[in-house]
Amino acid sequence: MAELRSTGRSVQTIYDSIASTYDHVTRRNDYDRWVALYLDLIGRHGAAGRRLLDLGAGTGQAAIRFAQAGYQVTAVDVSPEMLRQAGAKPGAEQVRLVVADLRELPDLGVFDVAVTLGEPFIYLRDEQELSAALRGVSALLAPGALFVFDLGTAGFHRRHPSRVVVEDSEDEFTVVRGAPSRRDPHGSDYLIDRFTTDDGITWRRFHQRHEFSYFAPDVVERLLAEVGLTHLATHGLHLGELTENADEELHRKSFVVARKPG
């Protein structure tokens, strides 16, 4: 299977190119809070063991925190450069780092918990690719294991094109904005324009477009059943707090919880 594609370039290429600056650009992300939300969901729904698979792990911010919480962590990402950044962090020696495509997960062993943080599944282009990813995860889960993954809601994709964030400093100017999707009528795109200078006179422009897909709850539940996973719950995220159920219009994202029977 070909690599994941986004505007004619692979997601691997996109993230390889921004790996060295990714932690700086996302420095306001509250990973402590994000991991706490997942630990809450894992505790709420119950997992039998401590073997954890982190899918779309990026620079390892969450994976290292899961390891510090006592999990045996395998972190997977399509970008070797992102994982190189992860490997340089304090605490990374506790994490197994593996380069792999989410649609073609290799035999990584058996896990009691699998998670995604930062919605990596929205880069999958269609139901076929999501099904391949879910099937690969299912094959790696022990009987009774838990799978918690996040997705953008319909409301997120509808509101996303109106989002604009500007950051300005002496030697850097960044504009991050949403845009209507060029391929998914229910999805959205994410545009980054970053301008940097060494002398204050000559500026370099860096531009990327990320293409995001939308997967409706009924589609997700059907695909989970097809790959042998039981849907337990879909929680929402509203104003930074978990909700018992997800509201596809109101909430920013949903957390889907499924279990491997047995």
My answer on whether 242 and 142 are in the same domain is yes
105 with 161, same domain: the answer is no
- Claim to verify: residue 26 and residue 52 sit in the same structural domain: yes
Condensed to tens digits (0 to 9), the pLDDT of residues 15-71 reads 998 898 888 888 888 999 999 999 999 999 999 899 999 999 999 999 999 999 999
Asked whether residue 196 falls in the same domain as residue 223, the answer is no
> Domain residues for 171?
157-212
The domain spanning residue 126 has which CATH number? Answer: 3.40.50.150
The mean of the pLDDT values for the chain is 93
Higher-pLDDT residue of 262 and 87 is 87
Cβ distance 146 to 257 under 8 Å? Answer: yes
29, 126: one domain? yes
What is the separation of C-alpha 179 from the centre of its chain, rounded to a whole number of angstroms?
19
Domain boundary among 175, 196, 212: 212
User: CA nearest 118: which of 200, 45, 62?
Assistant: 62
Using 50, 70 and 90 to split pLDDT, how confident is the model at 3? very low
Query: How many domains are contained in the chain?
Result: 2
Is the per-residue pLDDT at 8 higher than 60?
no
**pLDDT for the residue 48:** 87
CATH number at residue 192: 2.20.25
> pTM of the entire structure?
0.92
pLDDT at 170: 82
Instruction: Give the Cβ contact number of residue 189 at 10 Å.
Output: 21
Shared domain check, 149 and 163: no
Q: Are residues 183 and 241 in the same domain?
A: no
Q: Give the β-pairing of 230-238 and 172-180.
A: unpaired
Burial per residue of 104-137, b for 16 or more beta-carbon CB atoms within 10 angstroms, e otherwise = ebeeeeebbbbbbbbbbbbbbbebebbbbbbbbb
Whether residue 55 sits in one domain with residue 177: no
- For residues 52, 56, 62 and 67, what is the CA-based torsion angle, rounded to 10 degrees? 30
Contact (Cβ atoms closer than 8 angstroms) between residue 75 and residue 58: no
Residues 137 and 255 in one domain: yes
